[in-house]
Amino acid sequence: MIVIKFGGTSVKDALSIKRVLGIIKSRLNNKPIVVSSATAGTTDKLISIGNDAMKGNFEKVVKSIFEIKNRHLTIIYSLIKSEKIKLRAEKKLFEQISELSDLTKGIYLLKELSDRTLAKISSYGELISTNILNYYLIEKGLNSVLINAVDYMVTDSSYINAEPDFTEIKKRLKKTIIPELRKNDVVITQGFIGISSDMNITTFSRGGSDYTASIIGASIKAKEIEIWTDVDGILTADPRIVKSPKILNEISFKEAAELAFFGAKVLHPSTIEPAIKNNIPVRILNSHKPEKTGTIIKGKIKNSNFAVKSITSKRNIKILNIYSTKMLFAHGFLKKIFEIFDKYKTSVDLITTSEVNVSLTLENSNNISQIMKEISEFAEVKLEENKALVCIVGNNLKFLKGIEKRIFKVIGDFKISMISQGASLINISFVVENNDLEVVIKNLHKEFFK
């Protein structure tokens, strides 16, 4: 058995879904479980619909729902020729659109959008796309069955940032997907969506369809997990910055995890966690170029000629500089700081310390003013903005002689705010000005991949 996940750009229109059919057909011998995202842009539109309803802008809500309905009707009419199957697909779409409309009316009347309701609204993108995909496969002669994620993907009650209950998921998969896979060519299911123990719809954080695929793959001990997206694999740098970056044939789980955390958009940061624990390979592939072999992520990889595997980055980060003489020879100071971050559910990317100073970077700055206010009660705190974090990833960089010399030869003329190396064996990170980011990455890529 394998798990195949298709992202939003892979099912964005009729032509893309036709390519998906070819990919699925080529893998029928491996008993595929297909996990689908919503069509590209649909989840963002659904979230906007919820917010517009809460704000009382119901004309815009009606228009947006109409656009979603028409977009997916166009896909149905372009793909499905059998009148009988077309009517079934159309009927289900109309039911889903009607449910969505009723939900937004409730938000409009109450002028309230809870996390529970937002999760429910967000789920319709995947529910709609998998309905269409399933009926299209049936028309094309495949024994395809749709199993809804709510039948097995049990989570906690964190509605828009849910955590899976692996024990319960494994039990339910044995009663739902596994028996159907024995009887059919392919099973279709939704990514991103789960259900709490009190029977409310939940969702993983954005990009969570990758996570769904990994959870299923780990739970059934799949042979491989395939993540189909719109890039040829994991690249040595962002193609929007570096012209013609190289494709990595393979990369370790640890390297991929670092890249995901530090800004590589091809992977959701949580995606490979279940796969790592179960040593299941994850392959990144391009649905628009299915002939490409992509990048495989696994536990053990061959030695590479390249010490550095990839250079990734995050823009528009902030640095908090915290200064206090009370920190000198005192215990509990860092605990005091991070209790505040925990209170406001704000994560930190990098941290450096000296005797009396702590510097750290933040990507999520929603509660920055409250955090600074509380820290200022026991320390001096300053905020630096318009920064960018650069992360260089490669196997055992910490022990590679001369690597720092090569890096700082390239970035020596730029303003560097923070540097972090010792925390990881496989990455060296530093902070530069936003305006310098592209030049820095281009120069580093030239140095390591020329």
Q: How many CB atoms lie within 10 A of CB 450?
A: 5
Q: How many CB atoms lie within 10 A of CB 158?
A: 16
CA angle, corner 372, sides to 371 and 376, nearest 5?
Answer: 120
Is residue 439's pLDDT more than 90?
A: yes
pLDDT of res. 182 = 94
pLDDT above 70: percentage of residues in the chain: 97
Q: What is the pLDDT of residues 336-374, one digit of tens each?
A: 899 999 999 888 888 888 878 899 999 887 889 999 999
pLDDT of res. 422 = 62
Q: What is the pLDDT of residues 391-438, one digit of tens each?
A: 999 877 877 788 888 998 988 889 998 888 766 678 889 999 999 999
Mean pLDDT of the 147-169 span: 96
Asked if 77 and 86 count as a contact pair (C-beta separation under 8 A), the reply is yes
Sequence-distant (6+) residues with CB within 8 A of 63 are none
Mean pLDDT of the 379-392 span: 93
Is residue 106's pLDDT more than 70?
A: yes
pLDDT of res. 180 = 96
Residue 159, classed as helix, strand or coil, is coil
Query: Full-prediction pTM beyond 0.85?
Result: yes
Return phi, psi of residue 192, to 5°.
Answer: 75, -25
pLDDT of res. 256 = 86
423 or 383: which carries more pLDDT confidence? 383
Average pLDDT, the chain: 92
**β-bridge mates for residue 419, sequence order:** 430
Is residue 264's pLDDT more than 80?
A: no
Q: What is the pLDDT of residues 186-213, one digit of tens each?
A: 999 999 999 999 999 999 987 789 999 9
Lowest mean pLDDT among 45-49, 179-183, 345-349: 345-349
Instruction: Output the CA torsion sign for 257, 262, 268, 270.
Output: positive
Sequence-distant (6+) residues with CB within 8 A of 87 are none
Give CA–CA dist 245/169, Å, rounded.
39
Per-residue pLDDT band at 333 (split at 50, 70, 90): confident
Neighbouring C-alpha atoms within 13 Å toward the C-beta of 29: 1
pLDDT of res. 62 = 97
Instruction: Output the CA torsion sign for 170, 174, 177, 182.
Output: positive
Is residue 31's pLDDT more than 70?
A: yes
Q: What is the pLDDT of residues 291-319, one digit of tens each?
A: 999 999 998 777 766 778 899 999 999 99
Q: Domains of the chain by range and CATH?
A: 2-298 (3.40.1160.10), 310-449 (3.30.2130.10)
Number of H helices, E strands in the chain: 15, 17
**β-bridge mates for residue 361, sequence order:** 319
